[in-house]
Amino acid sequence: MFDAQCDLASLVYEPHQDPDAVLRGFAADLNAQGFRVVGMVQAGQCADSSLSAVLLHSGETLLLAQDFDPAARGYRLDLARLQNAGERIADAMALGADLVIINRFGKRERDGKGLSHLIKRALDADIPVAIAVASDRFNDWIKFAGGMSVKLRCERDALDGWWHAVSARISRSTITSHPTTCEILK
């Protein structure tokens, strides 16, 4: 079911782990190496009005929480702000990308909304995708991805190993002029 060279990787995390730090460091290192990483990583806390995301291709921080009502409990994701972030990521992808990172697979993505369209767009363009998936949402993720995903531990070395395999395969395919059987069937 899983292919170690699959272009779609899920960084599966437990509640005590910080996938944002792993993804942020990974993206920064790839950008420093000359790769173009497009997407966003969550910043701030889900439980309050500081929920935001950093656009990896520009470094800009975008607020994702609705304007906070101190009398309300918790936060509400501002769907218009999320949609705006998605449009900005799509625009950046159109300028070229080596990797797309999506901050979370949540209930909106599970239902085909949120940033799910960016995953499909990237894969249709043969751009690898990495996404953080909470362990309690992994079954939903497998259904969403049709089983075509690599499951990675929420550790930098797991992400680096996946990227090494995927980027090496992509480099080889751009050098050869004859597509492989897998590329034809994609």
Could you tell me if residue 72 is inside a domain? yes
Rounded to the nearest integer, the mean pLDDT of the chain is: 84
Domain that holds residue 66: 8-185
Could you tell me if residue 177 is inside a domain? yes
Confidence of residue 1 (pLDDT cuts 50, 70, 90): very low
What pLDDT is stored for residue 147 in this prediction?
85
Could you tell me if residue 119 is inside a domain? yes
Distance, CA of 172 to CA of 34 (rounded, Å): 18
Could you tell me if residue 2 is inside a domain? no
What pLDDT is stored for residue 64 in this prediction?
85
Distance, CA of 114 to CA of 67 (rounded, Å): 19
Could you tell me if residue 52 is inside a domain? yes
Distance, CA of 118 to CA of 185 (rounded, Å): 22
Structure tokens, 63 = 């607020």
- Structural domain count of the chain: 1
Cβ proximity of 5 and 165 under 8 Å: yes
Q: At a CB cut-off of 8 Å and minimum separation 6, what does 171 contact?
A: none
- Model confidence at 177: pLDDT above 60: no
Could you tell me if residue 3 is inside a domain? no
Average pLDDT, integer, range 29-42: 95
Structure tokens, 5 = 């060279």
Could you tell me if residue 120 is inside a domain? yes
CATH of the domain at 43: 3.40.50.300
Biggest distance spanned by C-alpha atoms of the chain: 62
Average pLDDT, integer, range 41-56: 77
Tokens 């607020």 found at: 63
Could you tell me if residue 129 is inside a domain? yes
Cβ proximity of 52 and 61 under 8 Å: yes
